Structure 1
Amino acid sequence: MSTKKEFGNVRGVVFPIHKNELRKFLPMALIFILISFCYALTRSLKDMNILKEMNATAIYWLKAVAITPSMIFFTILYGKVSRSTGRDGRFNAVMIYFFAFFTLSLVFLLPKKELLQLNALSQMLEEKFPSLIGLWGAICHWPISLFYIHAEAWGTFALSVVFWTFVNEITAVNQAKRFYSFLSMFAAIGSILAGFILKLDNVRTNFDQGLKFVIIAIILVLVVYNYFTSDIKANPSYYQVEQKPKKVKVKMSFMDSMKFLARSRYLMLLSILVVGYGLVIALFEAVQKAQIQQYVKITGDNTIYAGIYSDQQIAVGVMSILVTIFLATPVLKKGWRFAASATPVTALVMTVLFFTFLRFGDALDDFLKGFNLTALHLSVQVGLYNVVLIKSVKYVLFDPTKEAVYIPLDEETKVRGKAAVDGVGSRLGKSLASVLVTTMSTLLGGGDIANIRTPIVLMIIAVIILWLIAVRTLGKLKTAAEAKHESERIGARTVQVSK
């Protein structure tokens, strides 16, 4: 039954959830708000700390040499946990680990970072190899780098893996069409809340204080999740969309999981989408963050970082809500392929606009002086709102369409494939972008990202074209997989009735 027949025109857009579904949807939405809040806040804090203490290229050195190995390590650990425990055990283990690390960061690692950092080693290396200043900065400020790695891991494992795995298990195909895009609105609320936290005076002057709110949110996630799952266990008939026979779990190592991914054309195409987004946004933000750092250095006010990132988080949240209300339903009604293409097309348009402004923006300096503005300040604002629009469309349309791809797959493919695609694939794109940025900035740009803008924009355009081709092919495979899934479901019901 389509959303249009189930609800009126306004209700179908504003709140396409049945009253009898609220018992499932509301706890799910609250968990999503809290996890998204932690994601938005830690993501801002990690960038703010690095831009304040190091060269902007340190971010991309970290992603090039530390993030992907760390994600592989975390994926191996997650695989071991998933083989030894069930859904709830996996979820709780991930949350408790990050709770412990962020608490350690708040009480020791970040407050003592000046005592722990390796200044002498960094200075010696920088004198010998000055073009690698970003790498030496990341090594010197290792407590901040370690926090950066874990903030990245939170987005992958807490949000992309354990939360969406849980949601996929308790959501039927017909519910997913309404639930998933609307859930994005609640992720937007988390982003807005994070933006307001960054505006607090104590957080603007001491970034570490933002972690107090992250720790409280993780505690609430654990409480709500375990209460919710206890209700699921007490009332399984209400929550189970399909009664599936239990399958013997196949133990797979990390390498086995990756080989399994390589044998699946379906998952490989999905990986191209995930890697493509990571590569595009990382390349785009490389230039944007360099502009922000240059602007803050000129003004000499480090609190500007908090102001910029708080504005970005609030704007992403508000824009996501607007896109959800006015665009999500009509776009999703046009089919999976059309909705999945929205993010790369938006990224392509915004990339062309941003880099065109960077190329010709200085010509506006004399005109802007009359408004007490500079081209540099305006480039920061243009870059910020371009990122806002790209990420808003990503949260509302890319994430739900990506998750919908997993629904017709069998349980083993969902768990192993999702861990491989989201756990490594999402990092691979950003790490590849970092390798490109660090290599080009070292060899061609003298360590300065501003000198490699042209090759960056050309790479972004090439990746988006490949991304769109993958969307087209995956759309055909998804339709076939859904037809097979529906046929098997009807066949299973027929056998049960005959018995």
Structure 2
Amino acid sequence: MLCLFFCLSFTNTILDSLKDTLVITAPGGGASVVPFLTVYAVLPSSLLFLVAYSWASQRMSRAALFNAIVVGFGGFFALFALFLMPNAESLHLHALADSMQQVLPAGLGGAVGMVRNWTYTLFFCAAELWGDVCMGLLFWGLANDITSLQDAPTAYPLLGLGANVAQAAAGLVLKAMTAARASGAGAAGFCREVQATMAVVLGMAAVALAVHRHITVTLPPPEHQAELPPPPLGHLSSGFSSESFSSSASNSGKRSQGSNGHLDLALEAGWQHPAPAQAAGAWQHTARDPEQQQQQQQQQQQQQQQQQQEAEGADDSGKKRYSLADTFAVLAGSLEIRCLAVMSLAQGLCSSLMEFVWKSHMRLLYPSPSDFTAFLGDVATWTGVVTIGLMIVSPVLFDRLGWRGVANATPQILLFGGTFFFAAAVAYQHWFGSAAAAAAAAGVAAPAPWLLGGLVIGGALLYAFSKGAKFSLFKPAEEMVYITLDEAGRTRGKAAIDVVGAQVGGQCIRGSC
């Protein structure tokens, strides 16, 4: 699992940095193109993928689905490296974009740039989806299947060690490639750099496929779910306690319980955790009045009827097929899924706002593609190092702070760090905004480099710590909740949150930029 996450994360870091460089430094591009790309290209792509994934997940095994998705991404990246990138200038719609620019208002210049450099638009969408799909959905879906509940609080944070070693290594590789290109021949040298980078990406994808096959063959899913009667009105408490773990209700009636001390799902009044002397997985009710017993019996009967209806609606393979409406019904019908969706939306909104402002100022400080890419490589290395450090101490943080304290780490970093960052950004734009825009148009250095440099470095630190907290603390805490859900919540509900939810939060703010 560590090797698999290493490969996926290395590839994601390379793609994430390269997509920004292509879009922001391209002729007719810039930071203003990114909001239009994310709203009118990435979000529709995410929705289309969700539809396709919902359909395919009912007809393909998890292993076959993983292979098909990774091979599909690899095919596009090979096409981009061998055909689209070398012929980008002849393929790009410069004449159409010039005509659009003459009739459209200046505020739609980003949309014109998106159309002009359409091959980079496709690459941007694919790179964005790689992170959400291959890392957020496929990898963690596999981890949820093969990781026992007792091992999750310790294993999940440490799983990311390999991923963030890969991120730091990818940053060094990016900077090395940029240094080699600095002595190369302009656009031709950059094209060769992109092709070499895509060769590395394809190699990592091939290794990921091989490792995934080894995992699925040698590591069957553990039996970490016990048969339990459904508790009424289960919901997330204020935090995960340090004494026990009890799961919420599911359609299948399968539930988990551990004693590792890192998780707890509290139930409504009238339910409590089993005493140590009881058998594992047993539930204890504190109130035994006839009315409550009757309600419990009615709920059990409703669950049995639902299971019978699902069995009757299954296909020949015994696997029920769900529509897209069923996927969103899972999102609406589970309190845990709804809470995770809100968390994902808020996370995406805050991160996207910060990144947009930061990269806009970074473009002023580093106008050349070489300098821009080199700095992104440094940021990737810093982010990897910070995340590794947080992952090492994350088991201790889960013990000391509990689930709620760990899950709140990323929002608190963005809140307090973002306050100082945006104050500096507002100050720079107030005093030097007009002069900076004129300097960017003339291709000369931006004014007040001391303030601009501090703003960019501060944004890089905020980015590194917020991303590190997200993947070492916030993401493992989120995945611990998925373990307690049924198959519908862990597949379709997770897909709706990871692929679409994370994007929608960003689109809300980017669409207003």
Q: TM-score range by the shorter chain?
A: 0.7 to 0.9
The counterpart of 2:344, out of the listed 270, 274, 280, is: 274
Q: Which residue of 2 aligns with 1:37?
A: 10
> 1:122–1:137: 8 Å Cα contact kept in structure 2?
yes
**312-321 or 78-87: bigger deviation:** 78-87
Cα offsets for 1:52-106 (capped at 9, x unmatched): 1112111110111111111111111112221111111111111111111111111
> 1:92–1:222: 8 Å Cα contact kept in structure 2?
yes
CA–CA distance in structure 2, aligned partners of residues 202 and 70 of structure 1 = 34
CA–CA distance in structure 1, aligned partners of residues 216 and 44 of structure 2 = 33
Q: Which residue of 2 aligns with 1:486?
A: none
Q: Does 1:134 align with 2:110?
A: yes
AA aligned to 1:229 is T
* Structure 1 residues 382 and 69, CA gap change in structure 2 (3 angstroms): same
Q: Which residue of 1 aligns with 2:279?
A: none
Q: Which residue of 2 aligns with 1:249?
A: 319
AA aligned to 2:81 is L
Scaled by the length of structure 1, the TM-score of the pair is 0.76
Q: Does 1:156 align with 2:132?
A: yes
Larger Rg: 2
Counterpart secondary structure, 1:83: coil
The percentage of counterpart residues that share the same residue type is 28
Q: Does 1:147 align with 2:123?
A: yes
> 1:197–1:203: 8 Å Cα contact kept in structure 2?
no
Q: Which residue of 1 aligns with 2:235?
A: none
How far off its partner does 1:110 sit?
A: 1.7
Give aligned pairs, total: 397
CA–CA distance in structure 2, aligned partners of residues 155 and 420 of structure 1 = 15
Q: Does 1:428 align with 2:504?
A: yes
AA aligned to 1:339 is V
CA–CA distance in structure 2, aligned partners of residues 295 and 286 of structure 1 = 15
CA–CA distance in structure 2, aligned partners of residues 202 and 249 of structure 1 = 53
CA–CA distance in structure 2, aligned partners of residues 33 and 62 of structure 1 = 28
How far off its partner does 1:290 sit?
A: 0.6
Extract unaligned runs of 5+ from structure 1: 1-27, 366-371, 438-499
Q: Which residue of 1 aligns with 2:171?
A: 195
AA aligned to 2:65 is R
The counterpart of 1:176, out of the listed 124, 135, 152, is: 152
CA–CA distance in structure 1, aligned partners of residues 466 and 25 of structure 2 = 25
Q: What are the equivalent positions in structure 2 for 1:316-465 lying under 5 Å apart? A: 316-326=383-393, 328-360=395-427, 374-437=450-513
CA–CA distance in structure 2, aligned partners of residues 358 and 318 of structure 1 = 26
CA–CA distance in structure 2, aligned partners of residues 415 and 124 of structure 1 = 45
The counterpart of 1:315, out of the listed 359, 377, 382, is: 382
Q: Which residue of 1 aligns with 2:441?
A: none
Counterpart secondary structure, 2:207: helix
AA aligned to 1:48 is T
AA aligned to 1:288 is W
How far off its partner does 1:219 sit?
A: 0.4
CA–CA distance in structure 2, aligned partners of residues 271 and 40 of structure 1 = 25
Extract unaligned runs of 5+ from structure 2: 183-188, 228-251, 255-310, 312-317, 433-447
Q: What value does the CA root-mean-square deviation take over the aligned residues?
A: 2.2
The counterpart of 2:95, out of the listed 90, 101, 120, is: 120
CA–CA distance in structure 1, aligned partners of residues 503 and 427 of structure 2 = 33
> 1:328–1:396: 8 Å Cα contact kept in structure 2?
no
CA–CA distance in structure 2, aligned partners of residues 227 and 414 of structure 1 = 22
> 2:2–2:160: 8 Å Cα contact kept in structure 1?
no
CA–CA distance in structure 1, aligned partners of residues 358 and 111 of structure 2 = 19
Q: Does 1:50 align with 2:23?
A: yes
How far off its partner does 1:331 sit?
A: 4.2
Cα offsets for 1:326-345 (capped at 9, x unmatched): 45522454211111011100
How far off its partner does 1:264 sit?
A: 2.2
CA–CA distance in structure 1, aligned partners of residues 203 and 330 of structure 2 = 38
> 1:102–1:215: 8 Å Cα contact kept in structure 2?
yes
AA aligned to 2:374 is G
CA–CA distance in structure 1, aligned partners of residues 410 and 138 of structure 2 = 24
> 1:279–1:430: 8 Å Cα contact kept in structure 2?
yes
Counterpart secondary structure, 2:150: helix
CA–CA distance in structure 2, aligned partners of residues 351 and 196 of structure 1 = 27
CA–CA distance in structure 2, aligned partners of residues 189 and 125 of structure 1 = 45
CA–CA distance in structure 2, aligned partners of residues 376 and 167 of structure 1 = 42
CA–CA distance in structure 1, aligned partners of residues 126 and 409 of structure 2 = 30
> 1:37–1:194: 8 Å Cα contact kept in structure 2?
yes
AA aligned to 1:394 is K
AA aligned to 1:220 is V
CA–CA distance in structure 1, aligned partners of residues 369 and 130 of structure 2 = 26
CA–CA distance in structure 1, aligned partners of residues 376 and 396 of structure 2 = 29
How far off its partner does 1:292 sit?
A: 1.1
* Structure 1 residues 364 and 60, CA gap change in structure 2 (3 angstroms): closer
Cα offsets for 1:222-280 (capped at 9, x unmatched): 111112222235xx7xx554588998532112232113312222211110111111111
Scaled by the length of structure 2, the TM-score of the pair is 0.74
CA–CA distance in structure 1, aligned partners of residues 38 and 213 of structure 2 = 34
Cα offsets for 1:373-427 (capped at 9, x unmatched): 5222222111111111111111110110111110111112211111111121111
Q: Does 1:59 align with 2:34?
A: yes
CA–CA distance in structure 2, aligned partners of residues 146 and 112 of structure 1 = 14
AA aligned to 1:260 is V
Structure number having the greater helix percentage: 1
Cα offsets for 1:408-467 (capped at 9, x unmatched): 111122111111111211111112122121xxxxxxxxxxxxxxxxxxxxxxxxxxxxxx
Q: Which residue of 2 aligns with 1:70?
A: 45
CA–CA distance in structure 2, aligned partners of residues 184 and 102 of structure 1 = 25
> 2:54–2:327: 8 Å Cα contact kept in structure 1?
no
AA aligned to 1:422 is D
